[in-house]
Structure 1
Amino acid sequence: MGHTITEKILARTAGPAPARAGENRAVRAGENHAVRPARMIAYDFPGYTDVMFRQMRDDFGITELDDPSRYVVFIDHMLTKNNERETEVHQVTRDWCEFYGIELHEGQGIGHQLTAELGLAVPGEFLVHFDGHISGIGAFNALGWGIRRDLIEAWVTGQIHVDIPATTRFDLVGEFPDGVDSRDLVHTIIEMVGADGCAHQVMEFGGPGARQMKIDHRQGLCGMAMFTGAVSAIFEPDEVSLAYVRDVARTAFEPVHPDPDADYAARYTIDLSTLVPKVVTPGSARVANTTTARDLAGTPITRAFIGSCASGRIEDLRAAALVLDGRTIAPTVELNVVPTSREVHEQAEREGILDVLRSAGATIAVSSCDFCFGYQQPLQSGENCISTGVLNISGRMGSPDANIYMGSPYTVAASALSGSIAESAR
């Protein structure tokens, strides 16, 4: 029986030293192995990185890292109030990174996007973070895994012990209809398999439909893998992903394909041409909360948000501009747009996309995670928001008495125009 992409990538990293090309080391789903990530990534956030920083030096006595180049830290949260608390949090991170000689990127965008832009997400490599949305790098045939409780093991020892996950395969065919994108696909998958349908597994995507997907849409799809219970998601490599990586990669890389006879826990075929705009209703991304935008048409909204590590890239902004071009958002709606990185912001400015959005009445904010987790302009009690954010549990974006609906950029833009949830009227 052959191997999945995930088994092959983790086999390369298992044991006392990474496997070289041509070695026949193998691992199987269900086995436990010590694996060595190529990169260990984090963003600073109170109660997470500051605790790990202190543990490394005070509890474990580590004053020098064997290979600081494997560590990368981003400052992408708590950037918008410019108060003493923010300064204190970020200074701890700056001091720690300087002490250990660790690469630090501050205020340049959301770390999950910067990981790709900086050439850190390359085919065939294994990266870890305490945030599960690192799975978005699966778009590039890299395996990103959120190991919140075990990241300290990786930071201290340079490796972690993991149970090799099984894989569920999704064969994609067809193309997205107008007004539909990967957000509608991921919510369709959740509806199809359930919120735990891929529990403790990796979602593997391939097929002709996968190959026609734009890289931004692949990132958004993989970045939402956790809402099926999956630990990560990954695409087969193709010319679209490889072309991106060749332009930015810092190191040589070797793409990984699944074997034709790979052993999968389950396998599904999805025709992208049959998808319709989906909306997740307040409470969670569970199957019972997923419905169609048409079924919710007319539900009033007061806020709309386009951004986050899942849906603030150039294709998402283009989608919103396509819907909003020459139109004006409803006077009862506040639309905030947050490009995923400074680079995306600048590209959208050059293309005239941000001018279109501003003319429609949108407010453009600098790139950060602050809107998505309710830190910047939090929702007030009784408000209804439609969002491309990553989560809609109670209190996620502000008041626990506000309601958050989630949809694609097409759906969010169309809803901002009408003042209520609506399908894209392109």
Structure 2
Amino acid sequence: MFPSTPATMAEKILARTSGRERVEPGEIVWATPDLVTTPEVSFPAYVARLRQNGIHRFAKPERVVVAIDHEVPVHSKEGAERNRRTRLLARETGVGHLFDGEGITHPLVVERGLVRPLDFVAAADTHTPSLGGVGALGVPFSIELTMILALGRIWVKVPETVRVEITGRCPPGVTARDLVLATMAEVDADLANYRVIEFGGAAVEALTVPERMTLCGLCIDMGAKSAVAEVDERCAAFLAARGVFGVEPVRADPGCRYAAVVTIDASSLTPRVSVPPNPTHVRAVSELADTAIQHAYIGSCASGTLAELTAAADLLNGRTVHPDVQMLVIPATKRIYQQAMETGVLARLSAAGAMIAPPTCGPCFGGLAQLAAGEARISTSTRNDPGRMGSRDAIIYLGSALTVTASAIAGRIADPRDYLPAHTRETAP
């Protein structure tokens, strides 16, 4: 049962998973995650830590997901040993799911129907809050994840919630990525710190579930604990297509308490980009029109969806990647890769000059397609701190898949609206 007093979505989730009728912000509760995820770059170290302390069994192995997704295909001796060790330990510990090269963890567990609204997911990856796109509370942990593996539960201080109401509708060329960058301009680190961002409003309702995952996943970079979007019929239909049935709309209770309420008008927004050295350093694309790039990348847990790959191929229709630019495209999961191949999207991207790689965290992790000193890349990935993609003297810009594609065509950071069909541009601000 949900608390009898008005509650935010995060409070409902933590009340349910801690066996409480209600929880209050600031309280310490012992919550039992519905799912625990860890990539191969962390899993062997967690198992070693537990075994050093005499713990050889997981409390709830059936709830554990291990994904080999960071170095795929493996390209180093260290990575090969780590991946081999991960496969061995996953078998020894009897985890519920081992995904070996099937895709990036967060979109993968949603695609496979392992996450449903009001779930609490604990994970070893920073951008786990993307699961808020299906109404779950994804919280990243570090070495504390070993406690969850050993006990099946973890203590959590109940966070306050910041409500972000996004009204209106995104104009052509403006995407979920631009919405979250606009949110970063309104919600600074002091407001976001150890709080959950709760998204709602007409513009959010108009987003697909993968777009909502992008919206929620990047909130960690503004200092939030996590993020969550309201669950509606569109989300229920999306999950039903992935084997998750019986989902009903979920939203915060009327009259619940928020630390703050922020309103953003989507209809007034234009494409924007994060500039170094932090995703929260946001500028309008128009301010960077003369900024040359040598690399463009579409992929990561914040991108690489079939819709985005299709949109990129459509924008490239009749055009080619600039001769001075290397464009890399990585679908987020193997299923998306297959769908993009079957529908001809990958062929269209390749014909326009893009390179296609198998599903992996890839450049976002820094182990693939590294940059040399002085080179610049515009990317749909999650972070742009110095050294993230190779040399510390390389420059990383972050934007939507449309902005990345337009920039790949122009050889400089470009406004995607300039490349949209004329009848579409007429409605853009």
TM-score (norm 1): 0.94
- Other structure's SS at 1:261 match: coil
Provide the residue aligned with 1:68 in structure 2.
Answer: 61
Task: Decide which of 40, 43, 47 is 1:44's aligned counterpart.
Answer: 40
How many angstroms does 1:355 deviate by? Answer: 1.8
- Unaligned ranges ≥5, structure 2: 421-429
1:397 aligns with 2:389: yes
| Alignment RMSD | 1.5
- CA contact 1:307–1:338 (8 Å) conserved in 2: yes
* Matched residue count: 413
Structure 2 counterpart of 1:269, from 238, 258, 263: 263
Give SS of 1:185's match: helix
Verify the 8 A CA contact 1:121 1:249 in the aligned structure 2: no
Counterpart pick for 1:100 among 93, 98, 117: 93
1:341 aligns with 2:345: no
Which of 105, 114, 122 is residue 111 of structure 1 equivalent to? Answer: 105
Letter in 2 for 1:97: A
CA distance in 1, matches of 2:181, 2:252: 25
What is the distance in 2 between the residues matched to 1:339 and 1:158? 33
> Contact 1:179/1:277 (CA < 8 Å) preserved in 2?
yes
Write the deviation string for residues 112-169 of structure 1: whole angstroms up to 9, x where unpaired: 1111011111011101002121111111111111112421111111110011010011
Q: What secondary structure is seen at the aligned counterpart in 2 of 1:90?
A: helix
Residue 34 of structure 1: aligned partner: 30
Q: How does 1:6-405 map to 2 (within 5 A)?
A: 6-15=10-19, 25-45=21-41, 48-59=42-53, 61-102=54-95, 103-249=97-243, 256-286=250-280, 289-405=281-397
Q: Distance in 2 between matches of 1:182 and 1:7?
A: 25
Whether contact under 8 Å (1:389, 1:406) holds in the other structure is yes
User: 1:174 offset after TM fit, Å?
Assistant: 1.6
Q: Which amino acid aligns with 2:6?
A: G
SS in structure 2 of the partner of residue 248 of structure 1: coil
2:426 maps to none
Query: For the Cα contact (< 8 Å) 1:279–1:290, is it kept in 2?
Result: yes
Gaps of 5+ in 1: 20-24
Task: Give 3-state SS (helix, strand or coil) of 1:148's partner.
Answer: coil
Which residue type is aligned with residue 36 of structure 1? T
Change beyond 3 A, Cα 1:406–1:66: closer
Per-residue CA deviation, residues 236-257 of structure 1 (Å, 9 max, x unaligned), is: 1101111121232468666542
Give the conservation status (yes or no) of the 8 Å contact 1:196–1:228: no
Counterpart residue number, 2:409: 417
Judge conservation of contact 1:217–1:315 (CA < 8 Å) in 2: no
Q: Judging changes above 3 Å, is the alpha-carbon distance between structure 1 residues 83 and 395 closer, same or farther for their aligned structure 2 residues? A: closer
TM-superposition CA deviations, 1:311-363 (whole Å, max 9, x none):
11112212211211110111000000011001111111222221221121000
Closer, same or farther: CA 147–83 of 1 in aligned 2, 3 Å: closer
Q: Distance in 2 between matches of 1:142 and 1:193?
A: 21
Amino acid at match of 1:219: M
CA distance change for structure 1 residues 252 and 55 in 2, over 3 Å: closer, same or farther?
farther
Contact 1:132–1:231, Cα closer than 8 Å, also in 2: no
Q: Distance in 1 between matches of 2:59 and 2:376?
A: 50
Which secondary structure does the structure 2 equivalent of 1:392 belong to?
coil
Q: Which amino acid in structure 1 is aligned with residue 390 of structure 2?
A: G
TM-score of the aligned structures, taking structure 2 as reference length? 0.93
Structure 1 residue 378 displacement after superposition: 0.4
Q: Is the 8 A contact 2:233 2:249 kept in 1?
A: no
Q: 1:80 to 1:234 in 2, by over 3 A?
A: same
Give the C-alpha shift of residue 57 in structure 1: 2.2
Percent identity among equivalent residues? 38
Question: Structure 1 stretch 244-253 or stretch 141-150: which is displaced more?
Answer: 244-253
In 1, the alpha carbon distance for the partners of 2:26 and 2:47 equals 32
For residue 188 of structure 1, what is the amino acid of its counterpart?
Answer: A
